[in-house]
Amino acid sequence: MTTDVILKIAISGVLTGLIYGLMALGLSVIFGVVRVVNFAHGEMMTIAMYLVIVAFNALGLDPLIMLVPISAVLFALGYLMQRAIINPFINRPEHSQFMLLVAVALVIVNALLLIFGPDSQGVTTSYSFDSFDVGGIIIDAGKVYAAIAALIVAVLLFAFFRLTLTGKAIRACADNYNGALVVGLNVKRLYALTFGIGAACVGAAGTMLMIVTDVTPAIGPAYTLLAFVIVITGGLGSMPGAIIGGVLIGLTEALGGFFFTPSAKSMFSFAILVLILLFRPQGIMGRKAA
Amino acid sequence: MASKTRVTRRTFTAGLGAAGIVAGTAPFNIISAQGAPLKVGVLLPRSGAQAGIGQDCQRGVDVTAGLLKDLKLPALQIMNGDTETNVEVARARAERLINEGAQLLVGAFDSGQSTAIAQVAEQKGIPYVINIAAAPPITEQGYKFVFRNFPVAGRILADAFENQIEIFKATGNAPKTAVFMHVNDTFGTAMQKGISAVSAKFAADLPYKIVETIAYDGTARDLSVEVAKAKATGAEALVMVSRLNDAILITRELIKQRWSPKCVLSMGPGWYEDQYLKTLGKFGDGPMSFVPWYDPNKKLTKALDAALAKAHPGVNLNTNHVYTFEALLVAADAYKRAGSADPKALADAIRATNIKDNVSPGPGIQFDAKGQNSALKNSAIQNRAGKLVTIAPASASNAKPEHPMKPYDKR
């Protein structure tokens, strides 16, 4: 095994991890503020992936061009979902919220199955088969574009929460719910906005994933599980943690698959999860519960 | 006290009349059974993980009525059943179809589901013709009502290696090393064991040596690591056991990682499917698949191909259509010869099947004492310009093999 091959696999793992990180970022944002665990997270991403298919097949639009429009559609979907379905469950027991979101996930999977059928579908862009040769190391061009886009979206999101008034208001809701109510913040609206932002993240991640992989209606639950592994590893509710967790999982799966056996790739990410739960239950970037 | 039974004139007349009615209508019953369509329960995975395949098999059902009419065979009344890609559901649906009047069962693509249906069919004494299922034990149970017109796994693999040897001899070019990649599910693991065992028997004639075996998760979203590992072996050929989605992902990775093996030898589905050809365009050309297929030169193949093209334009004739159609052909042929829908008469007629005018490669459709068509042959097919051509065995081919395949970067 040459160093080139190992380096190539490590880079590929980091690039894939950045896209996974963006997906998990949505889950982390929603949980960090609304305190609802979105069990339909991966399924919502498959909606975005199918929107890419529709836009590509009907209008020939490249996924990179569709990044903003599809994120906007998912934002609207998340906003409406929170206002109409999730809001009434905010103060209900966690198992009620769990059942609600699992039901939403099942509805999404079966609706997509009815509309698009069970076969996998993908898009073939002008750069789908391209790769860069950097000093003998071959890097997938699609993954590079998707990872750069994921990084830009993540930076914009950090800036939104740090620099804008709305972002600060959302963080205030997350830090102190009662305090936010006392100072007159419209918490319900901010919750819906947060859910919309989380959904937009997942929309962006789904759009970018279509550059590197295909989609089937049944793939949603696997992405939901992956998002959970990443956010727990990175720290539930921590935005940088989601990105770091994504990169760590992507890298672990790639190198673990290469040095041991590829069919056990997931085993390595779950092994990381177990170690984190044992030795740092709050995750890499998470804060210890008071 | 013994009762006295006296035959009066009135009793005698009534009895005579009844006997006359029975005697007079019995032949008509036979005629009406022959005239009425045979009720055939077609069990397929129409939903669940194998829904796409089940729906593809249904295309074979769709074109059957017209072809049977042309062959002057009796009509079939199709009763659809969905196994939901689930063994227990397959069993329950088989029972329900029989209770609803199915006189013969056909299906069910998958070995597990077919095994469950075979048990029900045998228990109820209803003939069952398997369309697609390769697990050998199904026809090793001593069943009297179960028949299979599909090769068993060992035969498929043995033919695959025979066809490879024929292709490499014909082209005068053979790879010396190969890397073997397979999905790590039940099917992939069984095939891996089968390939290891069968390839050992062909070791003297097989030109290549498998330098590494790589198992991978068929549901993986990214197979770049697997392909990088395979490329790093420096093997000349890629031997595959995969399914559709992973076949597409692996091909994309071959191109992106700039690796063009001399040949891709697939021993399973994926590499020849319409979705593969459609998704990859010119990059889909080249792989060879070793599969139960059809003889493109047979008259009935041309008729089936034409009927499919009319009913489903743009869909290439494949294993699913051929073997589902042939299962129904066996049913109609047996019904004609049995002269009734009586299950035992139908089973006896199926056992005596001798159809020469068929679609699959080999001498035709006959069943041995176990209910297996052991004379079936398998083919090697190659993707060419978005179409599929049969390249081996030479006796059932319509094109010469192209080997080595054109490198991806030269297309």
* Within a domain: B2: no
* Within a domain: A74: yes
Do B87 and B130 lie in one domain? The reply is: yes
* Within a domain: B22: no
Global pTM value = 0.80
Question: What CATH number is given to the structural domain containing A131?
Answer: 1.10.3470
Tell me, what's the pLDDT at A1?
56
* Within a domain: B242: yes
Tell me, what's the pLDDT at B22?
43
Q: In terms of residue numbers, what domain contains B203?
A: 154-291+379-410
Residue A127: both structure tokens together: 């750069």
Do B317 and B263 lie in one domain? The reply is: no
* Within a domain: A33: yes
Chain B residue numbers touching A214 (CB-CB < 8 A):
245, 248-249
Tell me, what's the pLDDT at B101?
97
Do B42 and B120 lie in one domain? The reply is: yes
Task: Identify residues of B whose CB sits under 8 angstroms from chain A CBs.
Answer: 49, 51-52, 55, 184, 214-217, 219-226, 228-229, 231-232, 244-245, 248-249, 252, 255-258, 275, 279-281, 283, 408
Do B138 and B70 lie in one domain? The reply is: yes
Tell me, what's the pLDDT at B8?
56
Do B49 and B139 lie in one domain? The reply is: yes
Tell me, what's the pLDDT at B364?
96
- Whether residue A138 is predicted with pLDDT greater than 80 in this model: the reply is yes
* Within a domain: A290: no
Candidates B214, B249, B257; nearest CB to A262:
B214
pLDDT 10s digits, A41-93: 999 999 999 999 999 999 999 999 999 999 999 999 999 999 999 988 888 88
Tell me, what's the pLDDT at B227?
94
Question: What CATH number is given to the structural domain containing B146?
Answer: 3.40.50.2300
CB A250 within 8 A of CB B171: no
Tell me, what's the pLDDT at B54?
92
Give me the number of domains chain A comprises.
Answer: 1
Low-confidence winner among A268-272, B141-145, B289-293 (lowest mean pLDDT): A268-272
* Within a domain: A40: yes
* Within a domain: B26: no
Do B285 and B301 lie in one domain? The reply is: no
The band of B256, judged by pLDDT with boundaries at 50, 70 and 90, is very high
Hey, are the CB atoms on B252 and A128 less than 8 Å from each other? yes
* Within a domain: A109: yes
The band of B287, judged by pLDDT with boundaries at 50, 70 and 90, is very high
Please name the residue of chain A whose CA is at the shortest distance from the CA of residue B221: A213
- Whether residue B2 is predicted with pLDDT greater than 90 in this model: the reply is no
Tell me, what's the pLDDT at B15?
53
- Whether residue B5 is predicted with pLDDT greater than 50 in this model: the reply is no
pLDDT, greater one: B84 or A287? B84
Do B214 and B278 lie in one domain? The reply is: yes
Do B257 and B383 lie in one domain? The reply is: yes
Do B86 and B171 lie in one domain? The reply is: no
Low-confidence winner among A263-267, B131-135, B249-253 (lowest mean pLDDT): A263-267
pLDDT 10s digits, B43-57: 999 987 788 889 999
* For residues B185-208, average pLDDT: 86
Do B184 and B234 lie in one domain? The reply is: yes
Tell me, what's the pLDDT at A237?
80
* Within a domain: B19: no
- Whether residue B409 is predicted with pLDDT greater than 70 in this model: the reply is yes
Low-confidence winner among A21-30, A280-289, B327-336 (lowest mean pLDDT): A280-289
Hey, are the CB atoms on A262 and B226 less than 8 Å from each other? yes
- Whether residue B26 is predicted with pLDDT greater than 70 in this model: the reply is no
* Within a domain: A88: yes
The band of A290, judged by pLDDT with boundaries at 50, 70 and 90, is low
- Whether residue B306 is predicted with pLDDT greater than 90 in this model: the reply is yes
Do B218 and B250 lie in one domain? The reply is: yes
What mean pLDDT is reported for chain B? 90
* Within a domain: A218: yes
Tell me, what's the pLDDT at A165?
94
Q: What is the DSSP string of chain A?
A: --HHHHHHHHHHHHHHHHHHHHHHHHHHHHHHHH----TTHHHHHHHHHHHHHHHHHHH---HHHHHHHHHHHHHHHHHHHIIIIIGGGTTS-HHHHHHHHHHHHHHHHHHHHHHH-SS-B----TTTT-EEEETTEEEEHHHHHHHHHHHHHHHHHHHHHHHSHHHHHHHHHHH-HHHHHHTT--HHHHHHHHHHHHHHHHHHHHHHHHHH--B-GGGHHHHHHHHHHHHHHH-TT-HHHHHHHHHHHHHHHHHHHHHS-GGGHHHHHHHHHHHHHHH-TT-SSPPPP-
Do B76 and B176 lie in one domain? The reply is: no
Give me the number of domains chain B comprises.
Answer: 2
Hey, are the CB atoms on B228 and A262 less than 8 Å from each other? no
pLDDT 10s digits, B93-109: 999 999 999 999 999 99
The band of A139, judged by pLDDT with boundaries at 50, 70 and 90, is very high
* Within a domain: A226: yes
* Within a domain: B3: no
Hey, are the CB atoms on B252 and A218 less than 8 Å from each other? no
Q: In terms of residue numbers, what domain contains A151?
A: 3-279
Please name the residue of chain B whose CA is at the shortest distance from the CA of residue A118: B52
* Within a domain: B208: yes
